[in-house]
Structures are given as C-alpha cells and as structure tokens.
C-alpha cells in the first residue's frame, strides 16, 4: 500500500516563503505531484517530480529525494490568493495516485 504524511496546517504572511513537506511510503513509485485546491474547487496541478532534484515553476518549486522518500513544495512571495489546501500525491503501481490528507495554507496580510 501507499501512505503519505504532510502537515495539516501552515500559516504565513504575505511575501513570505513557505515549505510544505511530504513523506511517503509506497510499494511502487513513478513520481510525486503537488496540487492546489481552493474551497469548492477541483485540484489544480502545480508541480511534478519524477526524478530527484528541484523543479521550478514561477513562484512554486518542488523537490524530491527518492532515497529519503521525501519531497516538499516551496511557495515564494506568498500572496493572499495562495490560501488553499495543498496535496502531495504519489503516482504508483498501475498509474494510481494516492493523496496525502492535505495541508491548509493560510496567508495573512
């Protein structure tokens, strides 16, 4: 089976940098994804790591260490609109994705 752990809540101020960690246990691994979900909406794809290292997409970056079964999402220059839930997800056997429980990010002025 697969399981993921990520913090349940994170709070930060506008303009700050936030890192959301994700550790996982998996029986098969293709990659680690990050999704953003605002209340009432569907998950939106943010970033994907299939190999070790850092992927940068604008203000968002994601890191993966397969040997440590660990990854993180880094959000820079936080904006109020970044307040949302963030999910890490492992793509495993048969292409299935298992999601973490989500991290609620609150950005304060």
Which positions lie near other proteins, rule CB under 8 A?
30-31, 33, 35, 41-45, 48, 50, 87, 89, 91, 94-102
Distance of closest approach, residue 15 Cβ to other proteins, in angstroms: 28
- Among residues 53, 57, 29, 28, the alpha carbon closest in space to that of 45 is found at 57
Would you give the distance in Å from CA 45 to the centre of its chain? 10
User: Looking at beta carbons only, is 26 or 98 nearer to other proteins?
Assistant: 98
Buried b (16+ CB within 10 A) or exposed e, 30-54: ebbbbbbeeeeeebeebbbbeeeee
Q: Which is nearer to other proteins, 78 or 86 (CB)?
A: 86
Closest to other proteins by CB, 8 or 17? 8
């Amino acid at each position: 089976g697969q399981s993921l752990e990520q913090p349940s809540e994170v709070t930060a101020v506008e303009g700050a940098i936030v890192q959301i960690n994700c550790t996982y246990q998996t029986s098969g691994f293709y990659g680690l994804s990050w999704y953003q979900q605002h209340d009432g909406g569907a998950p939106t794809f943010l970033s994907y790591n299939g190999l070790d290292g850092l992927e940068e997409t604008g203000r968002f970056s994601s890191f993966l260490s397969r040997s440590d079964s660990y990854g993180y999402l880094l959000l820079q220059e936080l904006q109020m609109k970044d307040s949302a839930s963030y999910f890490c997800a492992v793509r495993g056997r048969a292409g299935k994705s298992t999601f973490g429980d989500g991290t609620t990010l609150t950005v304060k002025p």
